[in-house]
Amino acid sequence: MSDHVYKIIEIVGSSTKSSDDAIQLAIAKAGKSVRNLDWFEVMETRGHIIDGKVAHYQVKLKIGFRLD
């Protein structure tokens, strides 16, 4: 296995469906502008409540990507 150096960024994904969907959308969007995505870590989960129901999920992620 080769040695690697990683850069870490923080992003927030959002979804009206679920926290998992917020994660998937955030990673897909990051992958359009950042190469070599390698791992992620969920840092924080939060959301909005409207009329006693969850209306919106937000998930803060750390994403690691390999530097060239």
> Are 59 and 12 contacting, i.e. CB atoms less than 8 angstroms apart?
yes
Q: How many Å apart are CA 41 and CA 45, to the nearest integer?
A: 11
**What is the per-residue pLDDT across 48-61, written as a single tens digit (0 to 9) for each?**
999 999 999 999 99
Q: Which is nearest to 48 in space by CA: 57, 39, 61, 37?
A: 57
pTM: 0.88
Its domain, for residue 59, covers 5-67
Q: What is the CATH number of the domain that holds 50?
A: 3.30.1660.10
Please count the structural domains in the chain: 1
**What is the per-residue pLDDT across 25-40, written as a single tens digit (0 to 9) for each?**
999 999 999 999 999 9
